[in-house]
Amino acid sequence: MEIPSYVLPMITYCKRKGFVIGVFLVVVCLQLVVQFGSNFAYGADGYYYAAQVNSYVTKGRFFSPDVSPVLYGLVYFSKLGTNIVVTNKIFVSLLVGVLFLSGYRLALHLSKKESTSVLLGLVLVSSSFIPHFSFNFIKNLGGIVFFILFLTELWILEVSEKKDKLTNYIRLGITFVFVFFSHKITAGISFCFLLPWVWKQIPISKMYRTLLLLGLPLTLVGLAFLFPNLIHWNDLQTIFSEELQFQFLSPFFKYSQILPNFVWEQILFFLSPAIYFLKRQTLSTQEKSFYDRLVVFFFLLSLPIFSYTAFSFPFRLFLLIFIPSSLLLLPSLSEIKSRWMIAILSILLSVYQYFTMIQEKDFNNQDYKLYSILLPLFQFPKNSLIIVHQGFDYFICYHKAGDAFHFLPEEKHKDRPIYRIVYGVSAAEYKKYLSNEVKIQYLPGFYSVLEEGKWQEFLNQLPAESKNRILDWRNPHTYRTKGMIRNESFKEPNKKI
C-alpha cells in the first residue's frame, strides 16, 4: 500500500515538467515561424552575427574580436547546418525559449507556485522589448538570459540556511562570469547587483569583505586587458558623452511614440512599481529586499534625462526595463488562484508574443533583398575598403564581396583604395558640386558609388542645410570609438573550434 504514495508524486512531477517543456516548445516554435518568414536575416545587426560566425569558421577568429559565449554558441551551432543565417535563427529561437525557462525558474523560487511561474516566464518572452533582442541584439539577449540566472542564484543564496555551502557560490560565480562575458550592459548591471550582495551576505569578517569589494573591480578591469570587448573604464565615456535632455514624461512615452501599438504594455510596465507596492506588505523581509532592489533597477533604467533616439545607448539600456517591470508584477500574479484564468492568460500571452514579433520584425530592418541585387554590380579594386551604412556593411562582409564598415576610414587605411556607397544623393547634386570627370556609379535604390576622397570633396562643397540632410546613419560620418579601436590589439588568429 506504500507504493502508490510514491508513484503519484512521481506522475505529478512528470506531468508538471512535461507541461513546462510543452510551453517551452510553443515559445520556440512561435519564434521560428516568424524568424523564417524571410530568407534573409532581420535587423541592422542581423548579418553582423552571420559575418562574425563566418569569419570564425573560415579564418579561425572573429573579424571584430569578442569573447561573448553567445558568439561561440552561434559558431558551434553553425556546424549543424550549411547556412549560417538559418542556424543563427534556430539558435536565437532556442535562446528565447531558454529565457522562458530561466524566468520560470526564478519565479518558482520566488513564488513557489508552478502555474504562476509559467505565467511569469511567458510575460518575459512576450514583451514587445524582446524582438529588439531576438532580431538585432543577440549578444544582449544572451546577457539577459544569464542575468536572470544570476538573479536566481542571488535569491537562492539569500534565503539559504546554509550560507557556507560551496556549491551555491560556485553556481553564482559561474552565472556571473557568463553574464559578465556576454555583453557590456548586462555585465555592468550584474556587477552593481553583486557588490551590495557581497557586502551584506557573504559570511566573512568585515575586513575581508572590504578587501573583496576593492579587489573585485580591479580583477574585472584586469580581465579587460586580457579579453576583447569586456566592460572597461573607457566605456564610462559612452555614458558621459550622451546628450542630456530632461523629459517631464518618462522614456516609456518616448517608446510608445516609436512603437504606438504597444502603449498598453508600456502603461502596465510604467505602473509596475506601484502595483508591487500594493502587495509589498504581504511579503517577507527577504522578498521585500529583493523586490526593492528591482524597483531601484527600474528607476535607473528609466531616468528621464537622456535623449532616447532609436538605438542610442540610453535607448538600448531602457530596453531592459521589461526585466524589473515583469518581475515586479509577480506578487500580484501570485494572487491569481484560478487555473482557468492562468490558462487563458497564458494563451493570450502566446498570441501577444506572436503579435509583437510580427509588428517589430521590420523595425530598423534593412532591405537585404535590394542589397543582394546590388552585390553583383559592384566593381571594386582588390584590397578596397568600402564605407557604407550599418547593415549593408555586414551583408557585404558576410557574402565576401569586400571589406566594409560603417565608420570613417582611419590613418592605417590611407594606402588602400577607399570607396563610398552613398545613399540619397541625386545625379543633379553631384553635377552641381563635382566636376564631370569624377567617376560615379549609379545603382538601384537611390545608391551611388564613388571614391571616398571625392565624396569628402563633395561634402566640403555642400551648404550646411544639405549636409545635415545627407549625413545621417545611411551615410556614415563618424570614426570608431576608442573601445572599438582598443579591440584591435586582440586581433590575432584563435584556435579553431
pLDDT tens digit string along 256-300? 888 888 999 999 999 999 999 999 999 999 999 999 999 999 999
Q: What is the DSSP string of 288-325?
A: HHHHHHHHHHHHHHT-TTB---TTSHHHHHHGGGHHHH
| Angle at CA of residue 322, ends 307 and 138, nearest 5° | 85
State the pLDDT at residue 244.
66
What percentage of residues in the chain have a pLDDT greater than 70?
90
Between the CA atoms of 378, 476, 256 and 42, what dihedral angle is there, to the nearest 10 degrees?
Answer: 30
C-alpha to C-alpha distances, 285 to 275, 312, 330, 347, 436, nearest whole angstrom: 18, 38, 16, 34, 77
| Neighbour count for residue 153 (Cβ, 10 Å) | 20
Q: What per-residue confidence (pLDDT) applies to 163?
A: 67
Q: Average pLDDT for residues 392-416, to the nearest whole number?
A: 91
pLDDT value, residue 15: 66
Contact present, 16 and 114 (Cβ < 8 Å): yes
* Residue 349: band (very low, low, confident or very high) from pLDDT cuts 50, 70, 90: very high
Distance from C-alpha of 5 to C-alpha of 47, rounded to nearest angstrom: 55
Under a CB-based contact definition with an 8 Å cutoff, are residues 401 and 54 in contact? no
What is the spatial distance between Cα 290 and Cα 301, in angstroms, rounded to a whole number?
A: 17
Averaged pLDDT, 225-248: 71
Q: What would the pLDDT profile of 455-482 be if each residue is shown by its tens digit?
A: 999 999 998 888 888 998 899 998 887 7
Cell of 286: 527577504
Residue 495 pLDDT more than 50? no
The backbone torsions φ and ψ at residue 437, rounded to the nearest 5 degrees and listed phi first, read -75, -15
Whole-prediction pTM:
0.91
In this model, does residue 144 exceed pLDDT 90?
Answer: yes
User: Sorting pLDDT into bands at 50, 70 and 90, what band is 109?
Assistant: very high
Q: Where are the alpha helices (DSSP H) in 39-137?
A: 46-59, 69-78, 84-111, 114-126, 130-135
Band of residue 489 on the pLDDT scale cut at 50, 70, 90: confident
| Residue 243 clears pLDDT 80, i.e. is over it | no
Mean pLDDT is lowest, of 213-227, 271-285, 331-345, 379-393, for 213-227
pLDDT at 1: 44
pLDDT of residue 239: 64
Whether 496 has a pLDDT exceeding 60, the answer reads no
Residue 308's pLDDT is what?
Answer: 66
How high is the mean pLDDT of the chain?
87
Lowest mean pLDDT among 217-231, 266-280, 386-400: 217-231
Q: Is the predicted pLDDT of residue 383 greater than 80, yes or no?
A: yes
Cross-strand pairs, 443: 447
Length of the chain: 497
Of the CA atoms within 13 Å of residue 395, those in its CB half-sphere come to 22
pLDDT at 242: 61
pLDDT by residue (tens digit) across 296-336? 999 998 887 776 666 677 788 889 999 999 999 999 999 98
How many Å apart are CA 405 and CA 400, to the nearest integer?
13
What was the pLDDT predicted at 494? 44
- Confidence (pLDDT) at 436: 87
Which of 3-7, 136-140, 265-269, 352-356 bottoms out in mean pLDDT, i.e. has the lowest? 3-7
Q: Please determine, for residue 154, whether its predicted confidence score (pLDDT) is greater than 80.
A: yes
Q: Would you tell me the crossing angle of helices 138-159 and 69-78 to the nearest 10 degrees?
A: 120
Higher pLDDT, 74 or 6: 74
Give the separation between CA 115 and CA 107, rounded to whole angstroms: 10
- Of 205 and 64, which is predicted with more confidence? 64
